[in-house]
Amino acid sequence: MTLIEQIMVLAIIAALTGIAVPPMRKLLSRNQLQVAQTDFIAALQHTRATAITSGKRTLFCPTRDGNSCSNDMRWNNGWLLAHDADHNNQPDHGPLYVGHGYNDKLIIQSSSGRRLVHFGPDGSASGSNLTLLFCQPSSAEHALSVAVSNSGRVRGAPASASQIADCSQMN
């Protein structure tokens, strides 16, 4: 091969790479949102199952230090699940499980009326419904949500138009 042929091959590879990178970034960012949503759904279902099997009120809340619940609406720094028999919205004897956050990669925010979830021994989540909103810091178009109803049902869904607008304001 001549030097000119090698340069042409490199130019073609560079052009194809330039075309492929933006769609790949979008795909990876959407995948990151879906993974976070799935993590939270699994953690909430695990919290509910723990409450039912142990017969104790179990708490799912945001945390900053991994030991206690924070009063934040943002869940970016992590979350924990723990028993809360004394109803003080803090773990009784330390957390049972701690999930690590997504820091600057994602914005995860709870609905304004509710910042944590208590599952009772019957599996219900008394109080108002909780909605967690998952957004990319750079774009709100692919936002996702997780909702917990009073009955304890956990479901994930694409964000509604109003939730996408809320995501846009958070960025």
Share of the chain above pLDDT 90, in %: 35
**pLDDT digit string (tens) for 50-72?**
999 999 999 999 998 889 999 88
* CB distance 92 to 85 below 8 Å: yes
Q: The domain 28-170 belongs to what CATH superfamily?
A: minor pseudopilin epsh domain (3.55.40.10)
pLDDT band at 171 (very low <50, low <70, confident <90, very high): low
Q: What is the mean pLDDT of residues 27-34?
A: 82
93 Cβ contact partners less than 8 Å away, ≥ 6 residues apart: 82, 83
pTM of the model: 0.82
Domain ranges in the chain are 28-170
According to the model, what pLDDT value does residue 139 have?
74
